[in-house]
Amino acid sequence: MIRAIVVEDEPLARCYLADLLTRTGRVEIVGEAEDARDGLRLCQRPGVDAAFLDVCLPGPDGLILGGELTHLLHPPLLVFVTGSSDHAVTAFHLHAADYLLKPIEASRVEEAVRHLEQRLSEKRAALVASDTERGDERLPVRDRRRDVARLLPRHEIVAVLRRGRHTWIHTVDAEYPSYYPVGQVAAWLGGAPFLRAAREAIVNLEAVAEIIHYGDRLYQLRLKDRRGTVITLSRSGARSFASRLKPPF
């Protein structure tokens, strides 16, 4: 799910664009603003993936705002919205993901969302690959309870589970939603003590409280997190798990 901000000074146009984005089923509108100042403030919050900016805003316009956003520590991807194609070159220099011309059509919004998804996927893959290459021991996650970002060391991670539209990073005392693909987190975590328990699950074997054996190579693992999370191993996960047990289970 793409977390997006919409900055548009016309209320009806803002509502229309937000509705088109929501209808794609792949965008969550996390804030709306009618000018550049409020738009900048909203985009400074943790976890904003994209900003849809009307070019013609009162005061500093959308292009100026876009330039400001590129200087943020974690800048959102930019999509400009305007009634004229005259600003396309400037948008290109700001590395915009797309450029929507009014009147906006639903098909173009769908296309823009696909462009955002591709750019975000590349961005996250680069982040995980860079962390792996540097040996960085911390994974950025968002703490919704306090609306802050946290940096988790590998050893604090109990499990990584895909549920619905989020990849949840479990520690002993909390769970953090993220948009990281499970495979990329697996690559960042590396091998032991982490096990790919299933296609959408990774388990830290040092955080297993209980092994439930309920058939031939059928296992469930109860974790040492606050919920006592139980994970069912896939067939391939069970084979990998059994090979690590000494003596053989």
Q: Beta strand 50-54 with 27-33: parallel, antiparallel or unpaired? A: unpaired
Task: Tell me the pLDDT of the chain averaged across its residues.
Answer: 85
Q: pLDDT for 37-69, tens place per residue?
A: 999 999 988 789 999 999 999 999 999 999 889
Q: What is the pLDDT of residue 247?
A: 45
Residue 169, beta-bridge partner list: 160, 176
Residue in this structure with the two tokens 């990584």, named with its chain if needed: 160
Which residues, 6+ apart, have CB-to-CB distance to 185 below 8 Å? Answer: 128, 139, 160, 167, 169, 202
End-to-end distance of the chain based on CA atoms, in angstroms? Answer: 40
Is the whole model's pTM more than 0.85, yes or no? no
2 sits in which H/E element: strand 2-7
Residue in this structure with the two tokens 């100026």, named with its chain if needed: 64
Whose CA is closest to 17, among 146, 125, 105?
Answer: 105
* 8 Å CB contact between 246 and 192: no
Is 137-244 in the same CATH topology as 2-126? no
Every domain of the chain and the residues it spans: 2-126, 137-244
Q: What is the pLDDT of residue 25?
A: 95
Report whether the peptide linkage leading into residue 60 is cis, meaning its omega lies within 30 degrees of zero: no
Q: Beta strand 98-101 with 77-82: parallel, antiparallel or unpaired? A: parallel
Report the top-level CATH class of 2-126.
Answer: alpha beta
The rounded distance, in Å, linking the Cα atoms of 232 and 238 is 9
Q: What is the pLDDT of residue 125?
A: 67
Any idea what the Cα angle at residue 210 is, between residues 205 and 211, rounded to 5°? 80
The rounded distance, in Å, linking the Cα atoms of 246 and 249 is 7
Q: Hey, what CATH topology would domain 137-244 get?
A: OB fold (Dihydrolipoamide Acetyltransferase, E2P) (2.40.50)
Would you place residue 248 in the very low, low, confident or very high pLDDT band (cuts 50, 70, 90)?
A: very low
Q: What is the pLDDT of residue 106?
A: 95
